[in-house]
Structure 1
Amino acid sequence: MNKPLGVLVGIVVVAGALNTAGAWYTGSKIEGVLQTSIEQTNQELAKQLQGTTTHGTIELVSIERNLYSSTAHYRLKIQDDKAGPDAKPVELLFVDNIEHGPLPWSRIKTFKWMPVMAVSNYSLEKTPFTEKWFAATKDQAPLKGQVTLGYDRSVDGHMELMALETQLDEHSTFSFSGMTMQAQTDADGQNLKAKGYMDHLKLNAITIENPPVTVELNGLTLASDLKKTDFGFYLGQNVMALSEGQLTYGVKQSVIKLKNFEYTDSASANGNLMSGRLAYNVGDITLDGKPVGSAQMVLTASSLDIPAMQALLQIYQNKFQPQADGTLPQTPLTPAEQVQMQLQVEKILAAKPQLALEKFTIKTANGESQLNVVMGLAKPTSFEQPPVDVTKQMLTALDAKLLLSKPMIADLSAVQAQLVGQTDPQAIAKMASMNSEMAGVMAVQTGLAKVEGNNILASLNYADGQVDLNGQKMSLEDFITAMSTRFGGVASQ
């Protein structure tokens, strides 16, 4: 044997010995790692489901250890209290083929040579409860995935829901293209990144009493980039985008279609204070092939006291969360709970939060309407003062602007007429025009807005006890009196 070949063989032998030793070590530790991971998962499940009627737990049923791999079985139990005390929990069984590190074969053959603790290859098992699901996927495991666990306790996972087509009942069908999800976390799940994609979903439901209903979703994308806070929950960014959605319904089988829907949220914390932003956007809406318009909404909040909000949420979950039968609890707040609730509200107001509807826009073929509202809050010196004085101190600023397009009102009135079955074009046009003009007349009569050309305009500004309504300045007391007179008179007519 020549010297280079001998060196190469020596390296291979040493690497194989090290891998065997590493696999033995990993195999001896794997059960403890799994139990710790399951405990953490159950704790996180309990947190996420707190305040709901649903409970879930995961348990390790068995594990068979070998030198290079282990086989584990898990049970996922899901119980909904609404189902009643005698209802059995839903049980899903999973089998997991765990390849021991440091060099699992599935990574070697894909040229991933970085040592890892283990690679988990899990899949849903066939049971009497899941056999119909298996039948819909042609006896393939409907849910499967792979998780790579690093020695630094980082996790890199991939999950796949298989495509399926099934007959839900004698008349209804369901088809699904499948969905993939990928996620990565560092040690103890402090930082989480995830993304997923679904190509197509279609539900066609038909009943004897009602016309057919068809729901279709195409091109669904999900993405998250989150960081766990010291308060036990995640903050960061989430995105959900849908290329196209369609609803077919009614005797005439009307079709409502939307395109380019997007939802995004982001949140961050600075000490005990949280800021957040929610945005909704619908790029295009049509009814029976005719354009309706588009819409956009942006909501923001800042300086929200996190511990105080958590305390209020806990009181709500304990006292006001609906019970299993859907009814609200009848037990009133105790004096101590009332004091606690007021204390937390005061803490929230002391942080001087600001809430805003930054943008609410509806655009149709002939017009565009806009609304934005910004409001600042603060803690009053006492809630025992007269209501007007409490309001003056608690509401530090309010600024609202409205631009309402009469052509847009006419466009949406025409759509509403179509939805209720009106088919005469002349009647629809006449009703739409009348509704848009009526809106302008009512706005002027109430004194809340003015009309300029094709637009209904309104503005409201409040600061330091003074109100500016459409350029008319007055004290807060005079504003309250004016509104009471106007709307009290309208209500009494």
Structure 2
Amino acid sequence: MNKPLGVLVGIVVIAGALNTAGAWYTGTKLEGVLQTSIQEANKELASQLQGTPTHGSVELVSLDRHLYSSTAHYRVKVEDDSARPDTEPVELLFVADIEHGPLPWSRLKTFKWMPVMATTTYALEKTPFTEKWFAAAKDQSPLQGQVTLSYNRSVEGRMEFLPLEVALDENSSLSFSGMTMEGTADADGQNLKGKGYMDHFKLHAVSLNKPQLLIELNGLTVASDLDKSEFGFFLGQNFLGLSESRITFGIRQSLLKVNNFEYTGSTSANGKLLSGRLDYKVGDVSLNNNPVGSAQLVLSASSLDIPAMQSMLQIYQTKFQPKADGALPASELTPAEQVQLQTSLDTLLAAKPQMAVEKLAVKTPHGESEFNLAMALAQPAALDQPPVEITKQLLTSLVAKLQLSKPMIADLAGVQAQLEGQTDPQTLAQVGTMTSDMVGNIAVGTGLAKVEGNNIVASLDYAAGQVDFNGQKMSLEDFITQMTQRFNAPIQ
């Protein structure tokens, strides 16, 4: 054996010995790490599901440990308190093949050389509860994935829902392309990042004496980047995008298409004050291949006192949250809960929260409408004041603007007429014109808006007890009196 080859063989032998020692060490520590992770997962589940009728838990059923690998069995259990008393909890069983670190073979063969504690490949097991799911996936495990646990206890993983083809009954069927999801989490689960993609989902439903329904969803993308706050919930960014959705429905089998739907949500905290923004966009809507329009809604809020909101939410969950049958709880607030609610409300208002409809816009082929609203609140000095004085102190400012396009109203009225079976173009145009004129007449007749060209416009600007309503300045008292008279008077 020449010298270079001898050195190489020596390195391989030493590396193998070190890996064996590392695998043995990992194996001795593995069960403790898994139990700790499961305890933390159950704690997090309980926290996130608090106040809901749903409860979940994860259990390590068994662990068969070997030198280089181990096999674990898990049980995931989900219960719903609002379900019927005879309803059995949902139980899912998983089997996991765990490769011990520091250098699992599945990572080495993909040129991932960073030492890790373990790499786990898991799969859902067949049970009486999941056997139909297995059949739809051609007898493969329909849910499987891989998780890598680093020595600092950070986690990265991949989850895959396999494609499904299933006949729901003689006439109904479901087709699912499958979905993949990837994510990472730090050691304490304080930062979570994830993304997922689904190519298509198709549901064809046919029931007795009802028109068939066809739902198609194509190109679903989800993504999150979240950090756990000191208050126990996650803040950050969420995104959901759907390239195309198609719904065929009704006796006439109308086809509704919605393209390029996007939802973006973001939340952040400055100390104990929460801010958030929600943005919904619909890129293109059509009915029976005729264009309908597009839309956008942007909502925002800031300076929301988090402990105060959590306190109020706790009362709502225990006293006011509807039951499974929709009925409200019969119990009333105790004196202590009344004090808690009032104190929380005072604290919330003392932070001077602000809320806004930054944009509500609808655009059709012949017109575009937009609405904006922003308001700021504050804590009244006392509640034993006249209602107008409380309003002045509670509502520190409000600005609202509306521009309603009459051609847009006509377009949407035509769409409604099409859904009701009207197809004649001249009739559709007449319906649209009559509807837009009627809306304009009502707005002018009530004094709530005015017509400028092809637009119905209205504005309201309030601050410091003074109101500017459609260009007319008045006190808050006069505005309230005027509105009362207008709504009680017949429309001219």
Q: CA shift at 1:12, angstroms?
A: 1.2
SS of 1:187's partner is coil
Correspondence 1:17-166 to 2 at 5 A: 17-166=17-166
| Equivalent residue, structure 1, for 2:193 | 193
Q: CA shift at 1:170, angstroms?
A: 2.0
2: CA distance, partners of 1:102 / 1:258: 49
Q: CA shift at 1:386, angstroms?
A: 1.2
1: CA distance, partners of 2:458 / 2:132: 58
C-alpha distance after superposition, 1:19-62 (max 9, x if no partner): 11111111111111111111111111112222222211111111
| Equivalent residue, structure 2, for 1:372 | 372
Moved more, 118-127 or 84-93: 84-93
SS of 1:52's partner is coil
Q: CA shift at 1:9, angstroms?
A: 1.6
2: CA distance, partners of 1:87 / 1:280: 37
Q: Which amino acid aligns with 2:139?
A: D
Q: Which amino acid aligns with 2:86?
A: D
Q: Which amino acid aligns with 1:143?
A: L
Q: CA shift at 1:332, angstroms?
A: 0.9
Q: CA shift at 1:71, angstroms?
A: 0.3
C-alpha distance after superposition, 1:145-168 (max 9, x if no partner): 000001111111000000010011
2: CA distance, partners of 1:278 / 1:470: 29
Does structure 1 residue 352 correspond to structure 2 residue 352? yes
| Equivalent residue, structure 2, for 1:202 | 202
Q: CA shift at 1:294, angstroms?
A: 0.3
1:52–1:321 CA contact under 8 A, matched in 2: no
C-alpha distance after superposition, 1:229-270 (max 9, x if no partner): 111111000000000001110111001100000000001111
Correspondence 1:386-465 to 2 at 5 A: 386-465=386-465
- The RMSD of aligned alpha carbons is 1.1
Correspondence 1:320-335 to 2 at 5 A: 320-335=320-335
Moved more, 141-150 or 421-430: 421-430
Q: CA shift at 1:490, angstroms?
A: 3.8
1:82–1:326 CA contact under 8 A, matched in 2: no
Q: CA shift at 1:105, angstroms?
A: 0.6
| Equivalent residue, structure 2, for 1:469 | 469
Q: Which amino acid aligns with 1:201?
A: F
Does structure 1 residue 293 correspond to structure 2 residue 296? no
SS of 1:316's partner is helix
1: CA distance, partners of 2:77 / 2:193: 26
Q: CA shift at 1:5, angstroms?
A: 1.9
SS of 2:345's partner is helix
How many residues in Structure 1 have an aligned counterpart in Structure 2? 492
Q: CA shift at 1:423, angstroms?
A: 2.7
Q: CA shift at 1:272, angstroms?
A: 0.3
SS of 1:215's partner is strand
1: CA distance, partners of 2:170 / 2:342: 55
Does structure 1 residue 236 correspond to structure 2 residue 245? no
Does structure 1 residue 247 correspond to structure 2 residue 243? no
SS of 2:188's partner is helix
| TM-score (normalised: structure 1) | 0.98
C-alpha distance after superposition, 1:331-355 (max 9, x if no partner): 0111211111111111111111110
2: CA distance, partners of 1:374 / 1:89: 46
| Equivalent residue, structure 2, for 1:266 | 266
| Equivalent residue, structure 1, for 2:167 | 167
C-alpha distance after superposition, 1:370-422 (max 9, x if no partner): 00000001111012211111110010100000000000000000001111222
1: CA distance, partners of 2:446 / 2:189: 56
Q: Which amino acid aligns with 2:266?
A: S
1: CA distance, partners of 2:291 / 2:481: 44
Q: Which amino acid aligns with 1:160?
A: E
2: CA distance, partners of 1:180 / 1:242: 15
2: CA distance, partners of 1:73 / 1:416: 55
SS of 2:37's partner is helix
| TM-score (normalised: structure 2) | 0.98
Q: Which amino acid aligns with 2:319?
A: K
2: CA distance, partners of 1:3 / 1:328: 84
SS of 1:207's partner is coil
1: CA distance, partners of 2:173 / 2:162: 17
C-alpha distance after superposition, 1:287-326 (max 9, x if no partner): 0110000000100111111111111111111111222443
Structure 1 segments unaligned to the other structure (5+ residues): none
1: CA distance, partners of 2:333 / 2:424: 56
1:136–1:166 CA contact under 8 A, matched in 2: yes
